[in-house]
Amino acid sequence: MVMVIDTASEADKRKLYEAIKGLKPGHWVFDIKPQKNIRSVDQNSYYWFVLNVISLDTGQDSLSLHDEFKRLFNSRIEFKTDGKYKVIADTTTFLDTGEFTVYLDKVIRYAEGELGIIIPRADRVSEEQFRNVRENYKHNF
């Protein structure tokens, strides 16, 4: 569970208390840290533009691509006590703007290097191009 709490808000403090009170008895680990500036709306919009461009070229839907890129570029390994491990694709939702830039650059480099798909840079994409890719994606999927 991830919660964002404003420590100046009594309502948020109550929400946190209620969440803790509702846990099953047992040992729990809490990782409390300051909130980062998460990815921007512009970054997110461009990311889905990139996924749609790749999707139109490969025929794979953008949600599947998103899951695959999370696995490739935003994952962690969880080790179990029996010596086995599991690869966990983490959400990109909580990446800060710098982390998301690095992630997005990896996706673009993969598309260009492995798939041969040229992705226009964000500062070179017009509103019309965004619209065209969105409309073509909706039409094909």
Instruction: Please report which confidence band the pLDDT of residue 73 belongs to, taking 50, 70 and 90 as the band edges.
Output: very high
Is the pLDDT score of 140 beyond 80?
Answer: no
Domains, the chain: 37-140 (1.10.3790.10)
Given a cut of 70, whether residue 62 has pLDDT beyond it is yes
Say what the pLDDT of residue 130 is.
85
Locate all alpha helices (DSSP H) within the chain, ordered by sequence.
10-21, 41-58, 62-73, 97-114, 127-140
Q: Mean pLDDT, the chain, as a whole number? A: 90
pLDDT of residue 100: 94
Tell me the mean pLDDT in the region 113-138: 89
Alpha-carbon separation of residue 32 from 18, 29, 35, 41, 141 (angstroms): 17, 10, 9, 25, 41
